[in-house]
Amino acid sequence: MTVICRLDDGPLRFNALRRAVNGITQRMLSITVRRLERDGLISRAVEPAVPPRVEYALTERGRSLHRVLAELVAWTEENLDEIRRDRERYDDAARAEELLAFPA
């Protein structure tokens, strides 16, 4: 998901993509880009040079998936603070219930 979001800003070469997805290992990024290419979500262009220059870009299908993923990210950003507050309320209520059931 993160690779798709990073490529939405434009094509990137492998190492630039790796820097943009901080924390991902070389091996994990290689596996990920191969899967995304296999699914037709990204394309891989090879420039004949020594060593060959490889550039990754979103396909139209990749861009359409990015639009849906971006909505999920926006939903999360909009709701996360309220979710955190609800979690605190839920945990407080659960602790109160526990105290009632097992008074110290």
Question: How many Å apart are CA 50 and CA 53, to the nearest integer?
Answer: 8
Q: Are 59 and 43 in contact (CB under 8 A)?
A: yes
Is residue 1 within the footprint of its own copies (CB under 8 A)?
Answer: no
Restricting to residues 14-73, which ones interact with its own copies according to CB under 8 A?
Answer: 37-40, 61, 64-65, 68-69, 71-72
Pick from 30, 87, 96, 98: which binds its own copies (CB under 8 A)?
A: 87
Q: Are 40 and 59 in contact (CB under 8 A)?
A: yes
Give contact residues for its own copies (rule: CB under 8 A): 37-40, 61, 64-65, 68-69, 71-72, 75, 79, 82-83, 86-87, 90-91
